[in-house]
Structure 1
């Protein structure tokens, strides 16, 4: 049996595409993942980013859920400081009522936005400091053991939607360990502390009603294609997209602008983000990911299939599943 594989989908809006076509692509991606035995698809909350269509995470999950049958769907994650815990409990309680046994709720404390967007969200600048307490409040609503007298989440109460702590630092690792929750590390874009965070999480883990032993999900990028040349071409397109998205300051996309940004320093930053990236054919990516799994000491891999086109992402989903079928689980 292979290690569980999951997908992180940002619902990217590719060049020349619209939010509508991006969402349709996310449906197709989840259907392809379901067909090939992936465990789950998660959607990440971001705001004010013209290339990402997953801002209304729970709405997107509901749409994809209606067009899939068995695959788990969830947030990877909801940035809880942007929201009242009761609101998130009601949203994900509603999703669990609609799709029983298929809903996950990953939680992060990052803003998922810039300072002006934080204002537009009416976010309290100090809200991240309350993240541990907000997680416990949210957990209480979902388990039916509310921490706010007289207030229940309806739907949501007693739904027991499983919680996951997301992070890219030691904070998330130690919090997940203290609360006895699964820990998902964002090594697909912030790899530096992966080994230290996972080691601390496993060492400090305290069993809980949800989880009796540590469970680690590690993020990794995959660019799989039928030929090495096609995979390398996809990698170069991804590097350009990241450079313009992160450093383009709203400028119109062009290959010339992207190459200029990469040459001026964005290339180093993009390279760091893509530290853990499997690039190549089916036969090449399987061994890479097996080695990464061992390095990350992961129980599950959550994959960002990076490609500039929907067709490329769908093909990557298929090739990865075929590759990992040939790699025995540890």
Structure 2
């Protein structure tokens, strides 16, 4: 291992919560457990708690992302709360600036604004959201710059201003699952987060493009990259593998195009998927870390050695809330043990 290789204790850990709706439960139940999760991970030292905009998905309750950010920030004290992300083509940049300006005014120094250029849903639902699909994702760079301008302190003479929002320091992140946003983030000098929890194939090339295209800006002097990955940690490898069958079922539904609430773990996936589906799920979940503390720690360090990212963000598809809490607790304990070395 080279002397400049990061150790797990050297970087922040964060959370991506999809606010899952469980079989037999409601969105109201999801909001309660997400707040409880945020309160626990704040206590365990995690840096951020992000939620992602999805629509028309029976298993995900985070459609009104900015409202939920206010809910989580209001129930916590210090952890940064934000979007991973807001799907900018679904919204007017001014509305996003006003919403996040309001959040930043309510919870100063704690709000992150992550932006994506996908719709976060299917095309029919995207039409219902926008009423018109013309020029949506293609205008993403222009809309990002418009949003940056709304937060700029130099905007006092503008005919349209974000109130609140103008002059507030709300960090804007670009999110991506390809090289497109990686390059744009680099050119604009913004931090970048890659969705390797579901789109692993382009991770390394996207990080390379981001770092090579990065230009220092008023927002950031050096490249800063997050990799989002899946983690299912438990006290034993066997228990973690059992819990991970919930994750497998969720991604099997994605591959099949079936939208369902998050399912309980099963004894075996055999009979639930065929060989081609199993292969496809495992390809999507290449950067998934399942196992006991020792197993996960070793695999995570290897991932960090390979990517040299600045921060790790964990998504955890675990059905039982207490087991999900334990998974994040193991991650925090693992980092603390590393710090004592």
Tell me which interval the TM-score lies in, with the shorter structure as reference length. Answer: over 0.9
- In angstroms, what is the RMSD of aligned CA positions? 2.2
Residue of structure 2 equivalent to 1:326: 337
Cα pair 2:57 2:260 within 8 Å, conserved: no
Residue of structure 2 equivalent to 1:286: 297
CA distance in 2, matches of 1:290, 1:145: 43
- Deviation for aligned residue 1:266: 2.6
- Deviation for aligned residue 1:259: 5.5
CA distance in 2, matches of 1:5, 1:145: 34
- Deviation for aligned residue 1:145: 3.6
Confirm or deny that 1:197 pairs with 2:206: yes
CA distance in 1, matches of 2:260, 2:314: 29
Residue of structure 1 equivalent to 2:226: 217
Relative to structure 1, is the Cα distance of residues 108 and 147 closer, same or farther in structure 2, using a 3 angstrom cutoff? farther
Residue of structure 1 equivalent to 2:3: none
Structure 2 residue matching 1:232: 3-state secondary structure: helix
Relative to structure 1, is the Cα distance of residues 16 and 259 closer, same or farther in structure 2, using a 3 angstrom cutoff? farther
CA distance in 1, matches of 2:248, 2:241: 11
CA distance in 2, matches of 1:251, 1:194: 28
Confirm or deny that 1:14 pairs with 2:25: no
Cα pair 2:116 2:176 within 8 Å, conserved: yes
- Deviation for aligned residue 1:306: 2.4
Confirm or deny that 1:308 pairs with 2:319: yes
Cα pair 2:21 2:61 within 8 Å, conserved: yes
Residue of structure 1 equivalent to 2:243: 234
Cα pair 1:244 1:261 within 8 Å, conserved: no
Count of residue pairs brought into register by the alignment: 329
Confirm or deny that 1:73 pairs with 2:81: yes
Relative to structure 1, is the Cα distance of residues 148 and 271 closer, same or farther in structure 2, using a 3 angstrom cutoff? farther
CA distance in 1, matches of 2:33, 2:251: 19
- Deviation for aligned residue 1:148: 9.3
Residue of structure 2 equivalent to 1:117: 125
Q: Deviations over 1:174-206 (max 9, x none)?
A: 100000000101001100011111011111110
- Deviation for aligned residue 1:74: 0.2
Cα pair 2:232 2:240 within 8 Å, conserved: yes
- Deviation for aligned residue 1:264: 6.2
- Deviation for aligned residue 1:325: 2.0
- Deviation for aligned residue 1:93: 0.3
Cα pair 1:7 1:40 within 8 Å, conserved: yes
Residue of structure 1 equivalent to 2:5: none
TM-score, reference length from structure 2: 0.91
- Deviation for aligned residue 1:248: 5.6
- Deviation for aligned residue 1:8: 0.4
Structure 1 residue matching 2:15: 3-state secondary structure: strand
TM-score, reference length from structure 1: 0.94
Residue of structure 2 equivalent to 1:92: 100
Unpaired stretches in structure 2, ≥5 consecutive residues: 1-8
Relative to structure 1, is the Cα distance of residues 251 and 302 closer, same or farther in structure 2, using a 3 angstrom cutoff? closer
Structure 2 residue matching 1:262: 3-state secondary structure: coil
- Deviation for aligned residue 1:313: 1.2
CA distance in 1, matches of 2:202, 2:156: 33
Cα pair 2:37 2:325 within 8 Å, conserved: yes
Residue of structure 1 equivalent to 2:69: 61
